[in-house]
Structure 1
């Protein structure tokens, strides 16, 4: 069994905004102290929609990594790397493409959605159709156990699982596998070997998932087994195949949806975003000029907070006492809109202050960022090469 490992990436779209922080980065920061985490810049993925203008990718990559570090991603806890610096991603993507049915790619829900939403771009390319397969390679190559995603990305994870399952079924045919697995069973000792056989039967004949989990837990604790024997017994549990690629689980994350300055989802393309490292004057001006409840034409007009984009920010940033003050003051016209906005301004600036401080050392010395990424790429590549050795051997491409 492979260690618990979290893998996630983002396309380099330039500097990050507070929506990215509340939607994903806060979860990454929490997870990095709990499990082995690999976070990567998905620069090849940026080309799926921006292949005609790649000029922004390099600058966007460095800006984004600085924002990750500023937000609190710790390179001593997490591995930070760039996708294209680990060419094994592309090799696994190519090899997976040989056996992945075309229909699997065409049925991904986001494929048709994006084709419609980005109608102004020519997306009739293999790169765009195949991006979920590249996404699968990004995760499967690290034998990740979990991928942090929102609800809308769950179909992508399910497809990764299907691809791993299909690959193991097609290529996990180690010569003499069953005989080797039975030899490995004996190494468990008579009592555990008997329990293993019973649990395997319960799972294979009755589909008992609890039996499968119990058997896996027992194998995890079996100190007498080598890594290869343990791997064989995991495969033997579920059938008669060696597990080469791990089926990842979707780790549903709490994504605080941070509204933009106009109440819509925060997005640079909408022009309603506050970047992580925006200067104080700009942040203050942006929030002070936010639209409010249209019913409040004059200071003396009462308003309704639920119709006001500013109150949506209070929902994220303000304690209960402040929200109660806003609701009462707005509905009675006891406070004006400028007064209402000030606590949000103060909270956003307080959130950004440590980010500004952490970012400064990397802005002063960009070589620090390059070194972090170089170390991360080296770490990631070693893990990727281990997987690719097994993949090549399983597909008859080792030539030793």
Structure 2
């Protein structure tokens, strides 16, 4: 996530709630994308620096747990930049220019000069961010799927160019024997089915079989993955998109909650400010007077009731609005209570970190070191494959 401003409830419902869920289902790495923020905010770095720590506190407030996930800052793991540089040596220029977000962002951010290499190359940096951890799943919305497919293409291109080690087949055959007689025969059978018949189920079963083996080194495991697919050694793994459910958090004016629309409620905004914002929200323009009946579907407050109210409250709003039985201030009260109730544990979790900033810095330092351990392993193999190891 890019540190370009305080996080609001749209970020919470659209991203962070999903992170909290995923951290209990997978080994997760979540990072502050400060280099990515520079692609569009290169002329205002103070925006980035001021927001990094506040954003991490927002993550922690939302329930992201450093005991279950690795939290770190992108620029503190320099291996990202090294892999980005090395991948840039083999990336066709046309692959970057055809990215749908490249022209789209240039058209939207007309006030910025985005004719920079950093902006053109940011999808490749994004690929390096993923490939450096040999990630198998990346949680994204549909608009980001082309970036994951681009990352898959980069992994394929790299493996095709550099995944040929001397004596690969002999080493792969030796690795197969380490699996034991029964599993070796099953591996060979699945490999034949996939390569001769294109049986995707056989490929998946073969990959699962390799993952089950406890006695294989990382190198042997990668050789067997490559041998199974009929290629060389798999150095960079191809990730899959983990599509997240689209969540359109309505803002104070009924549009999608967004800083550019000035219609947000911050995740840790104080109760007085939240109450004032919701009480002054626009409502159905037909309700000029308290006695005028209204139409909930035409009122921005109704959109927030879909998020924060149960069926009984929504029925009460529906009936009261249409019959003018309740006023707009009455209608807004359950939303105010719902938002404040959602924010309460966030403020409570954040309190400890706000009172002791060193706690945040220490857990990020630990996360950076964990991330670097993963990244160093990958870069060792990448350098060796590209002929850049001299020890």
Within-5 A mapping of 1:288-307 = 288-307=279-298
SS of corresponding position for 1:384: helix
Aligned to 1:7: none
Aligned equivalent of 2:243: 252
Question: 1:296–1:303: 8 Å Cα contact kept in structure 2?
Answer: yes
1:378 aligns with 2:369: yes
Distance in 1 separating the partners of 2:343 and 2:333: 15
Deviation at 1:120, TM superposition (A): 1.4
Whole-Å separation in 2 of the counterparts to 1:68 and 1:255: 19
Aligned pairs for 1:154-303 within 5 A = 154-303=145-294
Cα distance, 1:224 vs structure 2: 4.2
Residue 145 of structure 2 aligns to a residue whose secondary structure is: helix
Q: CA deviation at 1:225?
A: 3.0
Secondary structure of the residue aligned to 1:148 is strand
Distance 2:224 2:75 in 1: 35
1:126 to 104, 117, 125: 117
Please give the alpha-carbon distance, in whole angstroms, between the structure 1 residues aligned to 2:215 and 2:375.
27
SS of 1:47 mapped into structure 2: helix
- CA RMSD, Structure 1 to Structure 2 (Å): 1.1
> Is 2:61 the counterpart of 1:60?
no
Residue 90, structure 1, aligned to residue 81, structure 2: yes
Offset at residue 215 of structure 1 (A)? 1.1
Decide which moves more: 186-195 or 320-329.
Answer: 186-195
Give 2:333's match in structure 1, choosing from 327, 342, 345: 342
Q: Is the 8 Å Cα contact of residues 276 and 352 (structure 1) preserved in structure 2? A: yes
Determine the C-alpha separation between the residues in 1 that align with 2:121 and 2:214. 41
Name which of structure 1's ranges 21-30 and 356-365 shifts more when overlaid on structure 2. 356-365
Distance in 2 of aligned mates of 1:129 and 1:224: 43
On the 8 A contact 1:200/1:238 being kept in 2, the answer is yes
Consecutive unaligned residues of structure 2, counting only runs of 5 or more, are none
Q: 2:41 maps to which residue?
A: 50
Q: What SS does structure 1 have at the residue aligned with 2:71?
A: strand
Per the alignment, residue 4 of structure 1 pairs with: none
Residue in structure 1 matched with residue 27 of structure 2 by the alignment: 36
Runs of 4+ aligned structure 1 residues displaced above 4 Å come to none
Which blocks of at least 5 consecutive residues in structure 1 are unaligned? 1-9
Aligned to 1:5: none
Alpha-carbon distance between aligned partners in 2 of 1:197 and 1:80, rounded to the nearest angstrom: 40
1:22 partner SS:
helix
Q: Name the counterpart of 1:136.
A: 127
- CA distance in 1 between partners of 2:342 and 2:5 (Å): 20
Distance 2:373 2:274 in 1: 42
Tell me the CA shift for residue 216 of structure 1.
1.3
Cα distance per residue 1:259-311 (max 9 Å; x no partner): 11011111122110000110111000000111111111111111111111111
